[in-house]
Amino acid sequence: MLHRIEVVVKNKHGVRDPEGETIHRHLILRKGYSEVKSVRVGKYIAMDVEAETREQAIDKVRELCERLRLYNPIVHDVEVRVYG
C-alpha cells in the first residue's frame, strides 16, 4: 500500500532563524504588517512510501531522515506524519 508521508523540519525553540528574521524585518514589517511579531522558516518534504501499514511507512521515513541526515538533530526538530 502507498502512503503519503510528510516531514516538517523546523529550528528548535531558542535557535536563531536568520531566514525568518530577514523575511520578517525586510518584507513583512516594511510592507506594513506590524501585527506579525515573528517569523520562523522550515522545510517541508513529502514522500510516497510503499509499506503495509502507516506506522511502518512513518518508521521508514524517520529512519531515512536520521541516516541520510535530512536534518540536523542539534538545531532542528522534525515531525514525521501521514498526510491527510
Positions of the chain with pLDDT under 70:
84
Give the tens place of pLDDT for each residue, 30-54.
Answer: 999 999 999 999 999 999 999 999 9
Domain range summary for the chain, segments of one domain joined by +: 2-82
pLDDT at 35: 98
Domain 2-82 CATH (choose: 3.50.50.60, 3.30.1280.10, 3.90.550.10, 3.30.450.20): 3.30.1280.10
With a CB cutoff of 8 Å and minimum separation 6, the contacts of 77 are 9, 10, 11, 12
